[in-house]
Structure formats: C-alpha cells, structure tokens
Chain A
Amino acid sequence: MSGAMSAASDVIIVGGGLMGSSAALFLRGHGISVTLLEADLIGRQASGTNFGNVRRQGRGIHQLPLANRAIAIWRRSRELLGADVEYLQSGHIRVCYRERPELVGSMEEYAAQARAEGLDLELLSGNALRDKFPFFGPDVLAGSYSPTDGHANPRLAAPAFARAAERLGAMIHENTKIVDAQKVGEDFIVTAADGRTFRAPTLLITAGAWGNALSSQFGEPVPIVPRGPNMSVTEPVPYAILPAVGVMTPIEEETVYFRQVARGNIVLGGSTRGPSFPDQYRAYVEPQNTLSQLKQIRRLAPSLGKLNIIRVWSGIEGYMPDSQPVMGPSATTSGLYYAFGFSGSGFQIGPGVGETMAEIIAKGGTDIPMGPYQIERFAAG
C-alpha cells in the first residue's frame, strides 16, 4: 500500500484505551480534529480488563487534583457519554491488618493530607468496621472509608468514550497498529502495519504498556515493565456489599481487593501479578496466582469463602519503576505528547487524563500539577 494517501487531521492519537478515547472526546470538545488509531479494538486491553476501581484514596497526594478532575467526569458520565458505564459512587474502604499496626499511622497521615485536597476520609477501628461491614475478618485492624469513591464497568467505559467522540466527529480506526512514527517537517507521519499512513502536526501517544515502542522512536526510551494483574469473579449472589474494598500492605501477595456489581457478582483482584505478552495482546492468569489471591481474599473477608469463582482473567498493564505514569510533552520533539504507563491505577484517573491532555494540547498548559510525570526523569545521564 505504499503511496497510499495519508489522512490528515489536527491530532493523531495512537492507542484507543481509556486515555486515548477520552482524550479524543475532549479534543473534539475544543473543536480540534482527531484521528484515533487502535491496534486492536477500542478498550480491549488494560482499560477493558481492569478491576474497575474508581478510587481516589490511596493515590499519591500529588495525583489527587487529577483524580478529582476525573471524579467530576465519572459523575456526569451518563449525560456526557449517552451510555451507562455502571458507575456507582458507593464508597471505598482501605484496610490494614493486625500484624502491621504501623500502617494505622500512615492512614491517619494520609487522611489529613487528602482532606487538604478535598478528599474526606473516615478512619474506623476494626470493630467499628465489622459493625458496619460484617464481612471483614478478624485480621482487619483498622480502615479508611471514602464514601465518595466507587466503581464502574471497565468493559463498557472506554468504548463508550470512543463512541461519544465518534459522534462528535472523531475519526477512529481499529485494527490499525502503528509500526513507525516520525516527524517530517512540521508534521508527524505515522504508518500502520499494513502500510496506511496518517499525518498531523500533533501526536499523542496513549499506547499503554506498549508506549515505549513509540517513545523510543523519538529517542526517549523508558523502563516500562508489562505485567498482568489477576482478576476473578464469583457467581451472582444477593447485592449486599456496596463499597469497593482493598488492603493496604507493602507485600504484593497481600494486596487484594473486591467489589460487588449490582447484578450480584463479586469481582476479586490482586495478589501476585503474572507475566504478560504484549506482542500477542494477551495476558494469561497463572493458576498459582489465582490460588494465592483466593487465600488472601479469605483472610480479608472469610465469608466469601463460601462462594465459587466462575471466571478468571488478566490484562496487560505497563508499570513504571516509580509507579507514576509518563504524561506530558516530549522532551525531544515539539508537538509530541505522552500519556502511558499508568502502573496499575489508570482507570479512575483515565477521563481526567483525557481532559487534561486535551487541555494541554488545545491551550498549551494546565493547572493540574504535571511535574512527577515528565518523561525527562528517565533520560539517560
């Protein structure tokens, strides 16, 4: 297909997860023409396979302004998207175990800092928690309750953003894997595996765990590691657990979480992450990780031990060494922007990332603090 005419627009977005889809929608809101290119189908990778936590608490304090921006979008998602993405503001609880009493102090400190950023958290003792939420096991020492956090359905979210963007005129090409990206004169020219080319003066890379393959083409490699967190889901049981629940712990194996969807199924996540295979666009759940997850879930909420899981899955997520995404302008190439490597916690902030990146591209800046996300932090030397 060499010589194929290149399609032109103001902005090309490479990667149609939640970041790319929401950026496309908000760029259209600024009246900017957008072409969104997705190697697979919209929202089928990390954005479609994640746990669905729409949680602010537990994020780095510096991330809360972005998270607050996102929560405002989640709250009006139904009107904004013309679709129900099953967003429920039903609360989130983070707990710690008896054997780590020092974490209660960390929770208190975090709550004080979060309050200054507009996030109100209520600290509860283990017994107070068990009174309110009887599913917690005896190992739970204390918890931090965030009534304004919640959860949503990841399978629906990114595609709904993309459809809304498309209705506003965004051009979306699925099954379009970009293998080459260069700046030629004033324009970026990106080339798909089948030879089609696309051209625009601005390029936004939202390629998730695959981001490094593209940033490297502009001399900015990053040490991203693809891994697959494990998910399971139970058969439906009567809807009784409103908040999403997670464990605060320094030990990866202990980091489990769960939430119940309105239909009744309980989604379980966390514990040891598995390897993933970005080249195949697949991540596989290792059985031993399912078993360790179930063991940790029994510790957190022993009564769930009476249920069965009916399905497990994983997804490919890109982790940065400091757990912060790469977000903002390129340091080598003008007109080039990045938003990838969300390190296991990009779902909640996703719509806020899209809105912020659109703002930066449209207006040249944002009030959201972007310092921690600069790609320069990985520059050699």
Chain B
Amino acid sequence: MAEPRIIIVGAGPSGTRAAQACVAAGLRPIVIDEARRDGGQIYRRQPDNFTRPYAKLYGTEAGRAQVLHETFDGLKGAIDYRPETLVWNIAGGHVWTASGTVQKAMPFDALLLCTGATDRLMPVKGWQFAGAYSLGGAQVALKSQAVSIGHKVVLMGSGPLLYLVASQYVEAGADVAAVLDTSPFSARVKALPDLLAMPSVLWNGVALTRALKRAGVAVHLGVTPVEIMGDAESGVSGIRFRTGSGKEETVRCDAVAIGHHLRPETQLADLARCAFTFDAGTRQWLPERDGDGRSSVAGVYLAGDGAKILGARSAEASGRLAALAALADLGLPVDKGEMTSLRGDVANYAKFARGLARAFPWPSAQAAVLPDDAILCRCEGVTAGDLRGVMRETGAQEANRAKAFSRVGMGRCQGRYCGLAAAELIAAESGVPIEQVGRLRGQAPVKPLPIAIGDET
C-alpha cells in the first residue's frame, strides 16, 4: 500500500504535536496554515526581522513557546509544510487550498483539523467604530507588530484573555484606562474546585490580576457594558458601563478591545460534514468527537481549540492523541499506553476549562437587551432592531432563516463575530430555547477567496 496521505490543517500547538507524532511513525504529513509562520495563536511567532526575546513575547509561557517552535523547526525537513495557504473548502476527499491566487486540491486518507479559535464577541452599542477591536486582535497587534491599539485603552469582556492582554499592554508601557469584566467575583469562587485541576495556570492568572493592581489599573468586576461612545469620523471616545452595584460610569479612551473568551473555528469540520451537538456549558454548537478526536466522519479528526476551547496545553495533548488515533485507524502501530495517558491529560484540562467557562460566563442576557439602534452584524450593518423587526414580520425563529431574511451573519466574517449573539437575541425575542435556534451553517469559502484564483501557470 502507498504511504497514507495525512493532512494537518493548522500549525499551532495541536497541529505541531500531531505532525510530530506522524513523523515519528515514519510518515511525511502535509501541514497547511494560512499564517506566514508556525506557532498558531498563543505562540504566534514574530515577523522575521523582529528580535524580541521569548520572555517578553510569551511571559509565563515562554518556555513552552520555545520548545514548541523548536519542535516545529526540527520537523521542517520531514513534513510538507505549506504556510500562507488557506484551506477554503473540504469536499470529495480533498482539501481545497488557496495560496494567494494559486489553487490546489489535495487528497487525504486522514485529515486532522487543528484550526484553533477566534474571539467570542458580544456586541455593544458602538462596537463598529474605528478603535474598537477584539481582545485577540489587540494581542496580535502587540505580539506580531509591537504596536498598541491606542493611546488610552480599555479592555472589556471576560475570560482569561482579558487579564492576559491587559497585563501584556501594561508591560509594553501602554496606558490601560480600565479593565471591565462582565463576570462577577462570585462566579470565580464557584468555579474554584474545577480551576484547581491546574494549580499552576490558576496561579499565573492570580499573579496577572495582582500585577494589574500593582500597576494601578482600575479593574471592575460584574459590569454591564452600556455603550462604546464615539462617532463614525473620529472613532472611539470612551466607554459607558454600569458597575456591579448598578451605578453608571464613564471611562475616556481612544481604543477598546472586547471579547468573552473564545469560540472554536469549526467551519472546516462543518464543510467536511461532521455532525455537531449543542454544548450547554458554553452555549455553543461543537463538532462531535470521541475521546481520541475522531469526528463523525471516517478519516476526519478534530483537535485543539478548534474542536472545543480547552486551552493551549490541552491542544498539544489532543493534537498528539488525534494523530495517534489516525495512525491506529490506518493500521500503524501506536503506543496504547501513551494514548491512555494522553486521554487522562485531556480530561484534566477539560475540568479546568469547565472552571474557566463557569468563572467567566458568556453574558447571554446582554444580547436580549441590546438596544434596537445597536449594530448587531457589523459586516452587513444590521441593527438589533432590524433583526427584531424581521422576526416580527416573518416569524423567523431559526438562525439560518433569520439570516436569509435579515442578512445577519451573511457578510465576510460569515457570522463568526455576530452569530452567537444573534442566536441569543433570537432565542430571547421568540422565547425558544437557544439550541432550537440552531447554528449558522458553514459555507465555503471559510475566508474570502479571490475571483482571480486559478491553477499554477
């Protein structure tokens, strides 16, 4: 039999560990990533001409980042690595890629989707103004370009990234006007038993909050965002919010980054026709998989944050585990003992991730009260009131139906940034449970595809 063709999408921690396992088994996997360099999100590598040290770029995770990068560098001769290559579709046993305007279809026997996550956003009135970013975007600006998103910055939302980005901005010398956390302190206390599954990571988080305090950054817990102030010409000018005790306050700033933890990039799994189920804990639809990462489609495996948000360490373990499962399914010898121990690791990370989801809950109720004049879908410029009006007129109560009538989620981000909030709004407005609202179906291309695309000439 010819050597099995393994394709790994994503060169972050999970894709890197998956590739390493395949190479160790004597195979030469294809590793595809749309980014210019390997590393994925958390361990995103700086451009070639930048030389900031690991400790400065990755803080407490510097050691892990360095090991992972060295692992990837060591694999380079043994893998078929294709950076700056977007997988835009999966069909007929092939992944369909675009590198600039050059297209290629590649067949696979096993496909590992290690596609990572993007910010989960809850719209706030005014979030379309220039100067409003996602927390991830704010971090990318700092990590890859060493620039701040503004002179005076507010970070708002919830989740570990809120504190991480805040402390990275403080460390880089930026003026952080406030950290506004929508989750209450009580949620953290309730989540503590699960968070203790990973004491060192928990401790890192506590240390971050202390560092922010020491730096004199105002941190408010249990807030309700009211509005990002500003206008279309000059952009963001401040934030209005209610404190936990209900008092309305204003902070002046020229940039804000928002985010509520993360959401997995599941579009490719959807295009590969993997089955999805509703996850009540995170109020998200996730692709089904068994304990090793097998999806509902034979030959398609899911790992890392692209399958479920379990964090970078879990991504390394689940990437390796999914690769071993794929190798075993292809009839290659694998270490069963190692698979058992990886399953244990992933379960422990899952416990911690459950704690994070409890400590930093998605403020679903905010979607219900989003004012009618607030933009809900930025790509298509649809307001919350537009969607409510369409629902009243047409009776639409299902996500794709509401999209068809209102254009919510129909733009270039394909609902990545508004889809979850829109589903909450639909559920609240129509009184149907969120899982019945369903999920926006994934449609190719997963990112914009040039009309100029064609075969290599």
Contact = CB atoms under 8 A, between A and B. Distances in A.
Contacts of B393: 83, 163
Given A308-B448, A310-B448, A312-B443, A163 B394 contact: yes
A313 B449 CA distance: 14
B401 A41 contact: yes
A130 interface: no
B444 interface: yes
A16 interface: no
Contacts of A288: 105
Contacts of A41: 398, 401
A291 B410 contact: no
B278 interface: no
Interface residues of A, number: 32
Interface stretch (B16-24, B88-96, B134-142, B312-320): B88-96
B214 to A, nearest CB: 45
Contacts of A263: 380, 407
B1 interface: no
B203 interface: no
Given A163-B394, A235-B412, A235-B448, A311 B443 contact: yes
A37 B365 CA distance: 36
Given A287-B91, A309-B445, A294 B405 contact: no
B105 A313 contact: no
Given A156-B405, A235-B448, A311-B410, 6 more contacts: A41-B398, A155-B405, A163-B394, A311-B445, A312-B443, A312-B445
Contact of B452 (A234, A290, A305): A305
A44 B454 CA distance: 32
A298 B451 contact: yes
A290 B448 contact: no
Interface in A286-343: 286-288, 290-291, 294-295, 297-298, 304-313
B275 to A, nearest CB: 13
Interface in B185-202: none
Contacts of B407: 263
Given A41-B401, A235-B412, A287-B96, A307 B445 contact: no
B450 interface: yes
Interface in B432-457: 443-445, 448-454
A48 B445 contact: no
Contacts of B405: 155-156, 159
Closest 6 CB pairs of A and B: A308-B448, A305-B452, A155-B404, A287-B96, A287-B89, A310-B412
B411 interface: yes
A133 interface: no
21 contacts: A41-B398, A41-B401, A44-B404, A48-B404, A83-B393, A155-B404, A159-B405, A235-B411, A287-B88, A287-B105, A287-B444, A291-B454, A294-B454, A305-B451, A308-B450, A308-B451, A309-B449, A310-B414, A310-B445, A311-B445, A312-B443
B366 interface: no
Given A48-B404, A155-B405, A295-B454, A308 B449 contact: yes
Interface centre among B88, B414, B451, B452 (most CB of A within 10 A): B451
A110 interface: no
A291 B452 contact: no
A245 interface: no
Contacts, number: 78
B81 to A, nearest CB: 23
Nearest to B406: A155
Contacts of A286: 91-92
Interface in B376-416: 380, 393-394, 398, 401, 404-405, 407, 410-412, 414
Contacts of B348: none
A174 to B, nearest CB: 10
A285 interface: yes
A218 interface: no
B448 A309 contact: yes
A285 B271 CA distance: 10
A234 B449 CA distance: 9
A270 B208 CA distance: 55
B282 interface: no
Interface of A: 41, 44, 48, 83, 155-156, 159, 163, 234-235, 263, 284-288, 290-291, 294-295, 297-298, 304-313
Nearest to B92: A286
A235 B381 CA distance: 13
A303 to B, nearest CB: 10
A268 to B, nearest CB: 8
Contacts of A297: 451
Contacts of B103: 291
Contacts of A304: 451
A159 B411 CA distance: 22
A296 to B, nearest CB: 11
A312 B444 contact: yes
Nearest to B454: A295
Given A48-B404, A163-B394, A313-B443, A291 B453 contact: yes
Contacts of A234: 451
Contact of B411 (A294, A295, A307, A310): A310
B205 to A, nearest CB: 37
Nearest to B413: A310
Contacts of A305: 450-452
A286 B380 CA distance: 26
A1 B16 CA distance: 56
Contacts of B412: 235, 308, 310
Contacts of A285: 444
B91 A284 contact: yes
B100 to A, nearest CB: 12
A165 to B, nearest CB: 14
Contacts of B411: 235, 310
B448 A298 contact: no
B33 to A, nearest CB: 20
Interface in B74-93: 88-89, 91-92
A172 to B, nearest CB: 11
Contacts of B404: 44, 48, 155
Nearest to A295: B454
Nearest to A305: B452
Contacts of A312: 443-445
B454 A159 contact: no
A311 B452 contact: no
Contacts of A291: 103, 453-454
Contacts of A308: 412, 448-451
A264 B158 CA distance: 36
A240 to B, nearest CB: 16
Contact of A294 (B94, B410, B443, B453): B453
Contacts of A159: 394, 405
Contacts of A307: 450-451
